Chain A
Amino acid sequence: MPQLLLELFSEEIPARMQANAARDLERMARERLEADGLGDARIHTYAGPRRLTLVADNLPAAQADRSEELKGPKVGAPPQAMEGFLRKVGLTQSDLTERDGVWFATVSSKGKPTADVIAAMVEEIVRNFPWPKSMKWGTCSLRWVRPLQRILCVFDGAVVPIDIEGIKSGNLTEGHRFMGTEQGPFAVTDFTSYALGLDRRFVVLEADERRKRILEGAKAVCAAKGLELVEDEGLLEEVAGLAEWPVPILGDMDPSFLDLPPEVIRTSMRTHQKYFAVRVPLDLRLAPHFVVVANISATDGGKAIAAGNARVLSARLNDARFFWDEDRKPGKFELWQEKLAGVTFHAQLGSMAQRVERIKALSKSVAVAFGEDPVDAEFAAGLAKADLVSAMVGEFPELQGIMGAYYAEQFGRQITSAIRDHYKPQGRSDELPSTRLACAVAVADKFDSLVSFFHIGEKPTGSKDPFALRRAALGIVRILIETGTRLSVLTLLTDEVVARSVPGANALALKDGVPVTSLEVLEFLADRLKVQLRDQGKRHDLVDAVFALGDDDLVRIVARVEALDKFLATDDGANLLAGYKRAANILRSEEKKAPLPVFAKPMRMPGAPAAEITLIAVLHDVAPKVEAALETEDFAAAMTALAALRQPVDTFFDDVMVNSTVATERDNRLRLLMQVRDLMGRVADFSQVSG
């Protein structure tokens, strides 16, 4: 079957856009081919620094011929209708067939040559490609990520003629910009000749292959010196998009820079220069080297490249050393803390200094829950954001916290752990802060974000979460749950805490005496918890059932959920749930007819059926047990106690008619059901449990 080869050859495409571009190209082509009845094509795309390539195999030479039946006017319809229909289909009445009193026309169309479909498809792709940022160049009115230089479009060995804003298609492409003796354009006939031609001209077409060569080559140049590469997935991805012919080269770093913090060296290497760091094997120490990935095999074996890069790195690290020395001068922390007053955190939420004051106050309260000294927590929180205005963090924002910890060394490991780790965890796979004090400050920091942004109505919506509030909430959930720390969210988020989050704001909205913002934050945390539990394979309806009780202690909520989960997995649990639902249904339908009787303890009525007497007795026995278990938060025991209800409840429904004609009997039985419902409701809202 014929093959299509398309290459969009441009000036250098940003590395970060290449992977998506390959996917978008594949998607746009597939959608178009499918729509044109050529959906059997096998499509593969490639992206690199200067080219997007698509190869589609298994294409027919032309679309299949099509024939479709069109419904026309009814027999006996006015002649104008028939004339109109014949004009539309381009036939005469003798070509039509009649069925059930309606005229039908069979219209057949010849399939277009695939090359025509391709020409239209390429134009559509080039004109509508979803680059995150695009531009115009020269006098051309097309937009592309950078100037589009060539369109190579070959179908079944022949050029598909296309002309988009003066860019004409052809069968030519180019190899590496600098390497090889065969410079200049060369012609191809199909993918095999294309791939071979590029290979001979020092272009690695596949991104995976470039990544592989870089990783293997970088490891090899390190191993040759008895060293080890510090792997970095993100950096690997990026450098693989910066070279058509990647060549890792080991360079030397002036060893005197090794007295800088390793994070600084690595960050400077990665962000400014896109170098990999190198370490001493079996050791965490960095080695005074780096790996740069060049785009050529240089004529001198890379010596000049290594030397040039080493000099640039020295200049960069000299800057870093200047920041490091400057930042460690005495009195800097005080200066930074003052400076935070001039840094706006958010137009409505005041300065960074005001935010720090809020985190300090919250840290004091949260520390108690973590069993930590509130004074230490407040002190650490007071220092936690200072490094944001340090010279080093100004240069490398990703070192926030890390630099603060270095600069605060004199305050001891507890305090520095809190400064360094209070941004953690940064997501579901990141580690928790390393100490309980750090956990306390981390939780306080995140609560301040949530309360503040919620209070000014900046809640995450859909995919929009500009202030990373979901991550903050997940951080709180993870820290509290994984450390088993008990904290009442609503007790923490008092009116005062909420009011303070927006400097100079007006009165608070309250609901049942609790700030609405605090309730919203609690609900948001419960949502995150639900997501977290669902990811762990727990039933989220159980979270709803427990959360409906109004609990605001995440650890207790999880304990209840777990106990409930186990209970419902037992035979007793499943049956009791059914009994509960039956009781609740009866009560609900009775309530529709007439108000339920005012609750009072069910009485042993004379002549009552045995099942009724038994249930009253068992409830009398079980209720205090459930209460006692809840008192000690032994939810498993509470469930076990409830399990004793299963048999009597089942028997009651089997033997007793609730809707007795005797009003007092009916009321007594309804009260009995109310007692069952309410006692079970002390453990969870079973009406929210599915099943």
Chain B
Amino acid sequence: MPDRKPLSFQDLILTLQTYWSAQGCVLLQPYDVEVGAGTLHPATVLRALGPKTWKAAYVQPSRRPGDGRYGENPNRLGHYYQYQVILKPNPPDMQELYLGSLKAIGIDPTLHDIRFVEDDWENPTVGAWGLGWEVWCDGMEVSQYTYMQQVGGLDVDPVAGELTYGLERLAMYVQGVDSVYDLAFNDPQSPDFKTYGDVFLENEKQWAAYSFEYADVDVLKRQFEDMERQVQRLLAEGKGRQGQALVLPAYDHVLKASHLFNVMNARGAIAVAERASYIGRIRDLCKACAAEWQKQQGAGA
């Protein structure tokens, strides 16, 4: 627990924004397509590739339909927030920068036990992997820290450092609450104080019912196939005014396909044997986008 008045959920976000802004990051707003993790934002997946430098930070709502618990589990959510930082190339003092961000949000490393515990990150749906750690604070995983080595099956060169903070978890830790729904969303002293539950509990209830019971599998399947075709069409036939393939719109369709797959999976509509094949299809789409993006960025030039 912090040693001064704990930050509300939104102040935690503001503090991280201020901190990373001071480190020279471009502060982006959340991407407006459903994604399962902040990594999938094109600001990470695509910008990690190619020779250009890139420093960005943003909040990304992450949808994990299968993790929904109808608002009944204090630690699990079907929709939550990640704070994502990408630094390409990773600066030599990236660990120090990261630790600085923990201090900024009130975690004193002489009072709390901060550890870097081996965790090799891999995301098979985007053909990406990297080495790094889970960062533990008093036994709780508060961030994922990765040196990205490949995305879409292509080498990330120069290497990008990626930080992902699980915002709810971090806020629960900072505020010392046991249920995510008890988090102070804004300042508890404010006349219109709201908890996380006030803001999101109803969403969790309805979305869990949708994901597990009411999502229409036939429609989802059809939409998945539509998205898949659009990616191929946009990469093969789409042309911008400068003659470039329409990789950014294509990639949005990959994200949509990926989310549709997650909903079908939560709905229990995908057999074990089918799962691998769906993941493979998404990965292939993602690889095609990654290759095209890298080409447009002038890799090796």
Query: CB-nearest residue of chain A relative to B51?
Result: A139
Which segment, of A81-89, A293-301, A353-361, faces chain B? A293-301
Q: Which residues of B contact A313 (CB under 8 A)?
A: 139
Docked CA distance A315–B140 (Å) = 10
Q: Report, as a range, how many residues of chain B touch the other chain.
A: 35 or more
Docked CA distance A243–B116 (Å) = 10
Given known A-B contacts A179-B110, A292-B139, A304-B111, A147 and B92 have beta carbons under 8 A apart: yes
Q: How would you classify the secondary structure of chain B's contact residues: helix, strand, loop or mixed? A: mixed
Minimal beta-carbon separation of B100 from chain A (angstroms):
13
Q: Which residues of B contact A147 (CB under 8 A)?
A: 90, 92, 147
Is B117 a contact of A304 with CB atoms below 8 Å? no
Q: Which residues of A contact B291 (CB under 8 A)?
A: none
Is B159 a contact of A136 with CB atoms below 8 Å? yes
Given known A-B contacts A138-B92, A299-B111, A308 and B272 have beta carbons under 8 A apart: no
Which segment, of A10-18, A157-165, A668-676, faces chain B? A10-18
Given known A-B contacts A136-B149, A147-B92, A308 and B73 have beta carbons under 8 A apart: no
Is B138 a contact of A309 with CB atoms below 8 Å? yes
Docked CA distance A575–B108 (Å) = 83
Q: Which residues of B contact A312 (CB under 8 A)?
A: 138-140
Q: Which residues of A contact B95 (CB under 8 A)?
A: 11
Q: Does B216 contact A (CB under 8 A)?
A: no
Q: Does A322 contact B (CB under 8 A)?
A: yes
Minimal beta-carbon separation of A141 from chain B (angstroms):
9
Q: Which residues of A contact B21 (CB under 8 A)?
A: none
Query: CB-nearest residue of chain A relative to B75?
Result: A315
Minimal beta-carbon separation of A311 from chain B (angstroms):
7
Is A304 a contact of B75 with CB atoms below 8 Å? no
Q: Does B197 contact A (CB under 8 A)?
A: no
Interface string of B119-142 (1 = CB under 8 A from A): 010000000001111000111100
Given known A-B contacts A294-B113, A308-B138, A314-B178, A133 and B131 have beta carbons under 8 A apart: yes
Q: Does A106 contact B (CB under 8 A)?
A: no
Q: Which residues of B contact A599 (CB under 8 A)?
A: none
Q: Does B239 contact A (CB under 8 A)?
A: no
Docked CA distance A344–B273 (Å) = 8
Given known A-B contacts A147-B92, A312-B138, A322-B73, A343 and B272 have beta carbons under 8 A apart: yes
Is B130 a contact of A135 with CB atoms below 8 Å? yes
Is A138 a contact of B111 with CB atoms below 8 Å? no
B133-164 with Cβ < 8 A to chain A:
133, 137-140, 147, 149, 157-159, 161
Query: CB-nearest residue of chain B relative to A319?
Result: B75
Is A133 a contact of B120 with CB atoms below 8 Å? yes
Docked CA distance A308–B132 (Å) = 23
Minimal beta-carbon separation of B138 from chain A (angstroms):
3
Docked CA distance A12–B91 (Å) = 16
Query: CB-nearest residue of chain B relative to A292?
Result: B139
Q: Does B81 contact A (CB under 8 A)?
A: no
Is A300 a contact of B111 with CB atoms below 8 Å? yes
Minimal beta-carbon separation of B261 from chain A (angstroms):
18
Pairs of residues from A and B, 10 with the lowest C-beta to C-beta distance, nearest first: A308-B138, A14-B118, A12-B116, A309-B139, A294-B113, A138-B89, A312-B139, A135-B131, A139-B158, A178-B109
A: residues with CB less than 8 A from B are 11-12, 14-16, 49, 133-139, 145-147, 149, 177-179, 242-243, 273, 275, 292, 294-296, 298-300, 304-305, 307-309, 311-315, 318-319, 322, 342-344
Can you list 8 residue pairs at the A/B interface with Cβ under 8 Å? Answer: A135-B159, A177-B114, A275-B139, A299-B111, A300-B111, A305-B111, A315-B74, A315-B75
Additional A-B contact list (19), CB under 8 Å, known A318-B75, A319-B75:
A12-B117, A15-B118, A49-B116, A133-B120, A135-B130, A135-B159, A137-B90, A137-B147, A138-B91, A138-B158, A146-B147, A147-B147, A292-B113, A295-B114, A298-B111, A304-B1, A305-B112, A308-B140, A322-B73
